[in-house]
Structure 1
Amino acid sequence: MLPSSCVIVYNSERSLLKASFTHYSFVPTKIPRKRRLQTLAVAVWSTVIIISVSLFLYLCSIPALWPFIAVYLIWMSWIDKSPEHGTRLSPWFRSLKLWRYFAEYYPASSSDRCFSCKECDLPPDRPYVFGYHPHGQGALATFATEATGFSAAFPGIRPHLLTLTNNFDVPVYREILAALGISSVSKRSCSNILKRGPGEAITIVVGGAAESLSARPGTADLTLRRRLGFIKVAIQHGADLVPVFSFGENDIYQQMANERGTTIYALQKRFQKMFGFTLPLFHGRGLMNYNLGLLPYRRRIVSVIGCPIHIEKCEKPSLEEVTRVQTKYIEELTRIWNTYKDEFAKTRKRELSIID
């Protein structure tokens, strides 16, 4: 029996020192090689856009490569449509050991990457729309790699994590995203993938940039109430809705003071409206210290994939129908929280809250 509620656990090793601007805790010289590789994997992914742009600019500095670069740019801009079709997913690339180190950073052991709650199955006889909450790193490890054993747990389901369309305008970086099965979050992309039929699945980080502004350790404030687009897409294609709650996502970074009503918060919201994303002011740890840097803290992340909500296909759903399905979706998401919060959110400061 396959579980429809699969808990992907990045099991805790030990508590790290609390971040502080006045006291630095440096990384010991004697660290196991595996832990160094885990940190390196996360550091590489955190800077992959910078690495991709730097590599491309370096190649542009070689005149002999200019004809090939010109062809690549033409192909990237006007010919390649894979970001809106999810057609270049590479099982080999998704299974690289690099991604295992990435997932284990949070961390995980092979024995508890995935254990079953045995609530229902996710049969590959229909398409799926996974709604991921809250915004965070677990979505990459779970749906864009095989580090947590997704394909083994749900054989026959082909997952596509969705991201901003602008990410595919970055040379080299777009090829990495495509190989991971990551596609554009545009409406056309969702439709192109789901209409391919049974077994196809898209994962949408529902709260997006707006939700990241509310992310703070010990909290679970979700931007969901007015997000109806992903539900409408599911109804239009007859795709079952699957809520996913990832415990611990908000604990891996410490966000600067930017509460609602502050000038910083207002500026970030304006930036989001102009560019489609925002830049939260946060800090984590560094490569050589545990207190300050841009790397996430080593905190446990547990992604719970809930029971599917069966959807009847309707090409033109009414607002009432969309709202009805959203209510069922929120009920299932709340059930996940209430079921696992005492196990995976012991240090929570408050309960699950849908703020927008």
Structure 2
Amino acid sequence: MNNEWPRNMLQLLSVAAFITFILFGGIAFTTAIILLLIYGNIYWQILCISYLIFFYIDFETPSKGGRGVGCEWVRNWRVWKHVVDYFPVDLVKTADFPADRNYLIAATPHGILCFGALINGMTNYSKWRRLFPQIRSKVLTLSINMLFPIFREAILSWGLSDSSAENINTLLSQSNDPIDPSNRDGFTSNAAIVMFGGAREAFLSAPNTYKVFLNSRKGFIRMAIQNGASLVPAVAFGETNVYDTTQSKTDSFVRKIQEIIKKYTTLAPVAFNGRGIFQQSFGLIPRRRPITLVVGAPIHINRNPESKDVSETEINDMHATFRKKLIELFETHKSKYIENHEKIHLEIA
């Protein structure tokens, strides 16, 4: 037990730092730059102005594919191993993924912070490189996250990029030719990982539940068809177990306020509770619960990428196929990751 304590504490502190950065990094760095511009000496002011000029020039990078796999030095930081081991976070591949095409991995549930998709896609300490050696992981995040200076550079260095339609189309239309200059980092194709339920799905997050928004979500289906990319269902088992949440009724005043905030910021203001550093009753740190991202078999789409016109019939048929495959994936694997799995099903709204 004594040998376990230092390692467990290191994992806890690593996750605490990670969560603090995700939740407050954007506001903190933005505030710091404003204060330095107002109160800093001339050297700090020149540095901040120089960075803001770069920020302006480089503004469209997140919506044009991001920065490849990110920065290998950052992805190899030892702290990520502690983050992976804390929950722990795992990755399961259920089928072969040829590296001659791009993929749109549509994952669910969103949970509060998408730990399953995020951690598996952003660090070299996950199993991604072993399971998908030639496929570049590209976790997609809300566009608003790319508006915060410095914070933006950090998440780009993890390999993240914008969840905008423009960026998804860029990633899914990229050449898979190994000699193409855009593949000089050693990867020949992209796997764009999107939480198709969006931040709104966070409103449904609660322990031991798998409630997802899918029936009205067809934009990602259209983009996969348009670009001839393979569509892949994925389920993050355990994602909803790391935080307790306060649920508000759909027609309540609180939910209406939440929806208004989400409409104008794209962020879902959900009240959630985890644990602290020295106690496990409350706090912002997620609880130590296993999360396993199970990636299903690709639904290959053979289509001429030059033809961008997609009929509603094509979209609806593929949507129905994806829905069926997602449910099958959940039902096939739930017994391995969910207690009392007979009573728990994927609830699709």
TM range (shorter): 0.7 to 0.9
Instruction: Indicate yes or no: 2:267 matched with 1:286.
Output: no
- Distance in 1, matches of 2:2 and 2:240, equals 29
* Alignment partner of 2:136 out of 155, 158, 166: 158
Match of 1:188?
166
1:193: Cα distance to partner? 1.9
Instruction: Report the CA distance between 1:146 and its aligned residue.
Output: 2.1
Shift in Å, 1:273: 1.6
Q: Distance in 2 between matches of 1:251 and 1:39?
A: 17
The question of whether the paired residues in 2 share the 8 Å contact of 1:218 and 1:347 is answered with no
> Paired residue for 1:317?
310
- Per-residue CA deviation, residues 253-302 of structure 1 (Å, 9 max, x unaligned), is 11113132333222212221222221111111111111111111111111
Q: Does 1:354 align with 2:345?
A: no
- CA 1:54–1:29: 2 relative to 1, 3 Å: farther
1:90 deviation in Å? 1.7
The alignment covers a number of residue pairs equal to 322
Among 48, 52, 74, the residue aligned to 1:93: 74
Selected match of 1:201 from 166, 186, 191: 191
1:248/1:344 contact within 8 Å kept: yes
Aligned mates of 2:166, 2:29 — CA distance in 1: 31
Q: Does 1:126 align with 2:101?
A: yes
Return the alpha-carbon distance in structure 2 between the equivalents of residues 201 and 247 of structure 1: 20
**Partner residue, 1:73:** 52
- AA partner of residue 316 (structure 2): T
1:18 paired residue number? none
Question: How far did residue 46 of structure 1 move?
Answer: 1.1
Does residue 37 in structure 1 map to residue 10 in structure 2?
yes
Structure 1 residue 145 corresponds to structure 2 residue 128:
no
Does the CA-based 8 Å contact 2:104-2:230 persist in structure 1?
Answer: yes
Closer, same or farther: CA 167–114 of 1 in aligned 2, 3 Å: closer
Decide whether the 8 Å contact of 1:53 with 1:171 is kept in 2: no
Aligned AA (1:241): L
Which aligned segments of 4 or more residues in structure 1 are displaced greater than 4 angstroms? Answer: 28-31, 55-59, 113-117
Corresponding residue for residue 47 of structure 1: 20
| Most deviating of 66-75 and 237-246 | 66-75
CA distance in 1, matches of 2:266, 2:26: 22
Q: TM-score, normalised by structure 1?
A: 0.85
The RMSD of aligned alpha carbons is 2.1
Alignment check: 8 A CA contact 2:203 2:247 kept: no
Deviation, structure 1 residue 55: 5.1
Aligned: 1:221 with 2:211: yes
Query: Which of residues 291, 295, 302 is equivalent to 1:305?
Result: 295
**Hey, what does 1:176 align to over in structure 2?**
154
The letter of the residue matching 1:214 is L
Q: Which runs of 5+ in 2 are unaligned?
A: 177-188
Aligned letter for 2:73? W
TM-score, normalised via structure 2 length: 0.86
Which amino acid is the alignment partner of residue 99 of structure 1? W
CA shift for structure 1 position 189? 0.9
State the Cα distance separating 1:192 from its structure 2 match.
1.8
Where structure 1 has 5 or more consecutive residues not aligned to the other structure, the ranges are: 1-27
Partner SS, residue 234 of structure 2 = strand
Which SS does the other structure have where 1:280 is aligned?
coil
The equivalent of 2:321 in structure 1 is: 328
Choose 197-206 or 155-164, whichever is displaced more. 197-206
**Is the 1:86–1:193 contact (alpha carbons within 8 Å) kept by the matching residues of 2?**
no
Larger mean CA deviation between 183-192 and 87-96 belongs to: 87-96
User: 1:33-54 CA distances to partner (integer Å, 9 max, x unpaired)?
Assistant: 1111111121112111534644
